[in-house]
Amino acid sequence: MMTSPTNTESTYTAKAPIDFYFDFLSSYGYFASLRIEEIAQLYGRTVQWHSMLLGVSVMKVMGLKPLLETPLKGDYVLRDTARYIRLHGLTLARKISDPMMDPRPAARAFYWVRRHHLGAEAAFARAVYDRYWRLGKDLSLPHEIAEIAAQNPSLGIDPNELQAGQASETSRQDLREAVALSVDKGVFGSPFILVDGEPFWGSDRLDLLDHWLARGGW
Amino acid sequence: MMTSPTNTESTYTAKAPIDFYFDFLSSYGYFASLRIEEIAQLYGRTVQWHSMLLGVSVMKVMGLKPLLETPLKGDYVLRDTARYIRLHGLTLARKISDPMMDPRPAARAFYWVRRHHLGAEAAFARAVYDRYWRLGKDLSLPHEIAEIAAQNPSLGIDPNELQAGQASETSRQDLREAVALSVDKGVFGSPFILVDGEPFWGSDRLDLLDHWLARGGW
């Protein structure tokens, strides 16, 4: 009975990837980036990574202030992230309160990688996050983007091509279109996850996402 | 060994109550109100309930729009609350998108109860939440506050005294002071929980709160 065509149908039906949206600026996005692939794999899902910009969704579309500049909430976020870091035993050279980088070069580089090294963009995103948050490097300048490729040769990306590519009009346009599309889909925070159209906002919803995938929704 | 003075010291040291802040308007506050006492009891804690006003913390102090009027986030909240309601098998006559009541009469009544029936304020708050969210009654008008006492005789509160009391200058002042004190403590959302000074914001943090209490912090 277990091997009848009906019961094994699901093995022939590929499950849709999980869409994982993040801003490289976002500590909570970084935290989620460390767990999302593991959760997806538990349920036979792949993850499609999408770099987005909180500066567009939160500040322009929603008309809100940056998180750390919001009275009361800013102080809470400092404590909450410190608590998360302690709980998960992370070591971050960057402090949450350190000045933020301009996230656009890294975000454009992400879309350049997706266009020219399709399949490597998730590993590239993890390398960006690692360099920014764990190692505390600023990635605002083009030569610092090149360093991501230089320091991670397993990515197979030429540093000079990456540095030039992130500045190209095509990469700028790819980022603009990706961010606009994310807003069209209702994505506003980082991390933000879509599973078969169901939205999950925030690293504190990963357990709920896990539960959703385990039950197949409810 | 287990009964030595040293090992039983903790049984003689009363643990501080958990401070639970909520706005009667808030669906997430309602959800948390259904779980907070059970979590506290697991760890030998009592709960001190505090009615607060998002209209002060979120709108005046933080300068933000109401949640449902915030682009993108409003749509998300509608889906997220519906998902929570299905998961927990709740039945609510009130829709999240229904017009909101003026929460001040109920909040003033809460402080009147605390002043005149100390110890009954948590049960009163649960009765307010039940009447507003589960039964879908508007509680903006004074006679509707009286109904809370009339429909819940086990509270031991005289409906007419409650209706008059919520309108008193003392109750108005008690509410103003409580809300100001909550802002001083960094409370901005609903629900918001303080455990020995450690803040937890949101009904999606109750599992983290549970973990914190189990480990005694980290």
- A36-80 pLDDT, tens per residue? 999 999 999 999 999 999 998 888 888 888 888 888 899 999 999
Peptide bond into A191 cis (omega under 30): yes
CA distance B73 to chain A (A): 7
What would the mean pLDDT of A202-216 be, rounded to a whole number?
A: 95
pLDDT tens per residue, range A95-138: 998 999 999 999 999 999 999 999 999 999 999 999 999 999 99
- Contacts across the A-B interface (CB distance below 8 Å): 69
Statement: residue B116 has pLDDT above 70: yes
Tokens of A201: 């906002």
What would the mean pLDDT of B106-128 be, rounded to a whole number?
A: 98
Identify from B31, B65, B76 which residue to disrupt to test chain A contact, counting A C-beta atoms within 10 A and taking the largest count: B76
CA-nearest residue of chain A to B198? A79
- Could you tell me where the DSSP H helices lie in B62-140? 73-87, 104-116, 121-129
Q: What is the ipTM of this complex?
A: 0.87
A105 close to A141: Cβ distance less than 8 angstroms: yes
B200 close to B193: Cβ distance less than 8 angstroms: yes
- Could you tell me where the DSSP H helices lie in chain B? 9-12, 27-33, 36-42, 54, 73-87, 104-116, 121-129, 142-151, 159-166, 169-184, 206-215
CB-count burial class (<10 Å; 0-12, 13-18, 19+) for B78: middle
Using an 8 Å CB-CB cutoff, list chain A residues near B80.
Answer: 199, 201
Statement: residue A4 has pLDDT above 80: no
A196 contact B CB<8A: no
Using an 8 Å CB-CB cutoff, list chain A residues near B57.
Answer: 72
A215 contact B CB<8A: no
Treating both helix axes as pointing N-terminal to C-terminal, what angle do B159-166 and B142-151 enclose, rounded to 10 degrees? Answer: 150
Give the N- to C-terminal CA distance of chain A in Å, as an integer: 27
Helix (H), strand (E) at residue B1: none
B70 contact A CB<8A: yes
Using an 8 Å CB-CB cutoff, list chain B residues near A32.
Answer: none
- Measure the CA–CA gap between A33 and A27, rounded to whole angstroms: 10
Interchain CB distance below 8 Å, A72 and B183: yes
pTM of the model: 0.90
